[in-house]
Structure 1
């Protein structure tokens, strides 16, 4: 384990520097590419902050749904296979809730400013 600053703090500092100091002086296509880079850094920061908790919750839901143990990848593969075979569907208790929560957790990382996501979070 490293001392401070943390990886999240370092990435955020770089993103803030690029956003506040470099973005105002860059024009044209390079400005677009810079914004894409800043967005990627922001996404990685959110992923570092939220991924572990989200993955643990998703795995717990999958273990309960499937009555099986395994890695997150294995559990998702097993669920996908059961859905493909018609063994589970949206009528299966807990599946719709699991899919909804998994989607919301992924949007929190990928698109937290997405209007529909924000509306759902506010309505909780």
Structure 2
């Protein structure tokens, strides 16, 4: 059984401490470092919270295109090799949509707000 607070909550608390308490108390020469540290901690929190679903989504999307299961990283490499030698427009279109969805999930972790892109 996992006791409260969980790791994501601890990371959020640490980021808030850096941003709200320590940053204003630090000399200006150290404030940028505190902002960077808070940002890193927030990325780690989002990774802790969102990464399992993002990884499963990638495995599902890539696995459907390739017809088998594997790790997200292995499937991504295999899909890249397949696309480089591809002449099938349907595969290219389907891969495009899968890659955009996977990139959007990654951006939700690394850079929220940039994951809402709707272009082609």
TM-score (norm 1): 0.83
Counterpart in 1 of 2:56? 56
Taking only aligned residues, the RMSD between alpha carbons, in angstroms, comes to 1.9
- Distance in 2 (CA, whole Å) between partners of 1:56 and 1:88 is 28
Q: Is 1:25 matched up with 2:25?
A: yes
Q: How many residues align?
A: 117
In 2 relative to 1, CA 81–119 (structure 1 residues): closer, same or farther, beyond 3 Å?
A: closer
For structure 2, which runs of at least 5 residues remain unmatched after alignment? Answer: none
Q: Report which stretch shifted further, 6-15 or 22-31.
A: 22-31
- Distance in 1 (CA, whole Å) between partners of 2:19 and 2:74 is 39
DSSP 3-state at the match of 1:20: helix
Report deviation, 1:87: 2.3
Counterpart in 2 of 1:81? 81
- Distance in 2 (CA, whole Å) between partners of 1:88 and 1:26 is 58
- Distance in 2 (CA, whole Å) between partners of 1:9 and 1:24 is 22
- Distance in 1 (CA, whole Å) between partners of 2:19 and 2:116 is 23
Q: How does 1:94-105 map to 2 (within 5 A)?
A: 94-105=94-105
TM-score (norm 2): 0.86
For structure 1, which runs of at least 5 residues remain unmatched after alignment? Answer: none
Report deviation, 1:17: 1.0
- Distance in 1 (CA, whole Å) between partners of 2:55 and 2:67 is 17
DSSP 3-state at the match of 1:5: coil
- Distance in 2 (CA, whole Å) between partners of 1:77 and 1:119 is 24
